[in-house]
Structure 1
Amino acid sequence: MRVAAQRFEAYLYVLPLVALLLFVFGYPLVRIFEFSFKMVRGIDGPWIGFRNYELILSQGLFWESVLHNLQLLLAIPAMVLISLIVSIMLYERVAGWRLYRVIVFVPFILAVPIIAVVMKRMFQFSGPVNEVLRWLSLDFMALDWIGSPDVALWTVMVLIIWRESALGIILFLARLLSLDEATIEASKIDGASWWQRAFHIIVPQMRGVIEFYVIVSVITLLSAVFAYVYIVGGGRGGPGTATMVIELYIFNALIRTSLPGIASAASVLLFLVAVALMYPLFRARRRVAAEERGP
């Protein structure tokens, strides 16, 4: 009885925080689901069933936004490869590794709007990137990185790769520091090259954390790129709709066209996709924890 009472007492301690979280996050979530089935004008409106969802799914702009989010997923292989190579180099303590560790962590510490503003200045047609290319007599590569509809989304992708790879480096380096160094040292003695050690010894032992990072990156690129495209695209997904993504589509529906029902329906769809990705995320996290505990 005493054990049961102590367990019940522990729940009482966390009850106020749970109630606060339910109020802060749970109530808005319920209201969003409710608004997605209404024609909201002001603070409420009549029930219209699935009409908002039908309107969204029939809009070309919505599907274009979805396509842009899917295109951004192409950044994930580059993020994984960069993170692996840099983390292994830091793990092997190349000359100046302490300085390099600070440099690669800085992008992830800085706020996205700060980075996006700086990068937008750098990639302007008359910005430093094009000036360097012209100085190197590579004028054909001096593109309108921000103003061209054909290039703008890829410029955003470069920015995302540069910043989000820092998280991968942090995760991979943490996993590397928990590995048994005896196997790696033995491979060095046997004459294994750097690439052989990396892809035949180190990477197989990091499968769980790589899966975890990939799933986190998928969720990020589907539902957490608003700040990037808002600043680079001038707040409207420009030029034209070249950098329009789902989050910006929701923002425009709510703020610019005052259609809370449409914005809520799109938010619900995005939320359901994110929830669907949570299961493999937790599976990957359990695998990482099991690997860190060892056999």
Structure 2
Amino acid sequence: MTSLLRPKLSGGNSNRRSALPSREALYWIAPACAVIIFIFGYSIVNLITQSLRYDGDWVGFENFSIVISDPLFLVALRHNLFLLSAVPILVLIAFILAITLFETRRGMRFYRSAVFLPYILPIPVVAVIFGQIYQLNGVLNTFLSSIGLDFLIQDWLGDPDIALGTMGSVIIWKEVGFGVILMLAHLISLPTETYEAAKLDGAGFWRTHFVITRPAIKTTLIFYAVIESITMVSWVFNYVYVMSNGLGGPGNATMVSELYIYRMAFQNNAPELAAAASVFLFAITLILLVAFFKIQRRSISKTFRS
């Protein structure tokens, strides 16, 4: 009889032991969580409240209807979606560079630092430098003319058809290093036996990394894609503001949602409309975060099932 009770008692003790560290961890992080919830929670509540008022009076969703019906805001969202479409290209470039550096043993530290350097540069500095490079008489067009490629010369920041794409290339240049370091760190932690077995089976470079590496670092790829999606939606203000002198030009060719909010709040003196547009932007960002956590949970559950 006592022998039958012993496993149950030991199981209960193990559950209690496992529960104690989790409770202790909650006690430690509770103060920090309280501060974060207070700061961000108060700001979000204040933002939503301001978006529902006008000159102190309650107007409900009227500010939201004004913002949605504003053609400039729709243009800004369309431009953010265009930048968002560049995320798969950004992830692909980062993945190719990461596996290339992973295979390049000699000088990897130097190449890794060189790739990561643009990411740690301040955005205004990057925007000013590329603003000079992409001018009509800038470094890029001068170089193209010197090697006889005059047909490639463009007004990179002055042509409305290519200005947004030009700024997108600057964002890709700066952000790709972050993804390379993330993926490279994951690659280094993978067991080498799998790659050695693939080489023995005669698998080539691309087949090895497409069949083995890509599924192995899937969570990192998804994490990087979500982070860069949030960047393209809500963190491109500095690029546009510096490279277009705060105008979103030429015309409205580089107008994005952040610049629209800035102009509404500080130039048009309409903070309520700016708050309504900010709520839209916050909702989009929140949707991306929720999608990331759902995808991550599915990938983790599939990993445990397999």
* TM-score > 0.5 by shorter chain: yes
Q: How many residues align?
A: 291
1:39 aligned residue (33, 54, 62) = 54
Aligned partners of 2:112 and 2:181 also within 8 Å: no
Paired residue for 2:140? 129
**Aligned counterpart, 1:250:** 261
Alignment match, 1:74: 85
Corresponding position: 1:259 with 2:274: no
Q: Do structure 1's residue 57 and structure 2's residue 68 form an aligned pair?
A: yes
CA deviation after TM superposition for structure 1 residue 286, in Å: 4.9
Distance 1:100 1:290 in 2: 36
1:10/1:72 CA distance change after superposition, 3 Å: closer
Determine the C-alpha separation between the residues in 1 that align with 2:303 and 2:19. 32
Provide the C-alpha distance between the structure 2 equivalents of 1:115 and 1:127, rounded to a whole number of angstroms. 15
Instruction: Write the deviation string for residues 265-288 of structure 1: whole angstroms up to 9, x where unpaired.
Output: 001111111111112222445567
Q: Which moved more, 1:12-21 or 1:253-262?
A: 12-21
Q: Secondary structure at the match of 1:125?
A: coil
The Cα shift of 1:214 comes to 1.4
Q: Name the SS of the counterpart of 2:155 in structure 1.
A: coil
2:40 matched to 1:25? yes
Q: How large is the Cα RMSD of the aligned pairs?
A: 2.7
Q: Which moved more, 1:217-226 or 1:246-255?
A: 217-226
How far does the alpha carbon of each residue in 1:61-86 deviate from its partner, in whole angstroms, 9 at most, with x for none?
A: 01100100011122112111111111
**CA deviation map 1:231-253 (0-9, x unaligned):** 11111211111110111111110
1:19 Cα deviation after fit = 3.8
In structure 1, distance between residues paired with 2:29 and 2:167? 41
Structure 1 unaligned regions, length at least 5: none
Distance in 2, matches of 1:278 and 1:158, equals: 24
Residue of structure 2 equivalent to 1:209: 220
1:236–1:292 Cα change, 3 Å: farther
Query: 2-side partners of 1:173 and 1:210: how far apart?
Result: 11
The alignment's TM-score, normalised by the length of structure 2, stands at 0.87
Q: Which runs of 5+ in 2 are unaligned?
A: 1-15
How many angstroms does 1:35 deviate by?
0.6
Superposed CA offset, 1:28-77 (max 9, x none): 2111100101113xxxx111111101111111101100100011122112
Determine the structure 1 residue equivalent to 2:175: 164
Alpha-carbon separation, structure 2, partners of 1:26 and 1:246: 22
Which stretch has the larger CA shift, 169-178 or 189-198? 189-198
**CA, structure 1 residues 292+160, in 2 after alignment: closer, same or farther (shift >3 Å)?**
farther
Taking the TM superposition and a 5 Å limit, the aligned residue runs for 1:150-189 are 150-189=161-200
Write the distance in 1 (CA, Å) between the matches of 2:240 and 2:292: 25
Determine the structure 1 residue equivalent to 2:8.
Answer: none
1:230 touches 1:237 (CA, 8 Å); kept in 2? yes
Given the alignment of the two structures, is residue 193 of structure 1 paired with residue 204 of structure 2, yes or no? yes
Find the structure with the greater CA-based Rg.
2
Return 151-160 or 203-212, whichever deviates more: 203-212
Provide the secondary structure at the position in 1 that maps to 2:57. coil
> Percent identity over the alignment?
41
Amino acid at match of 2:232: L
AA aligned to 1:155 is T
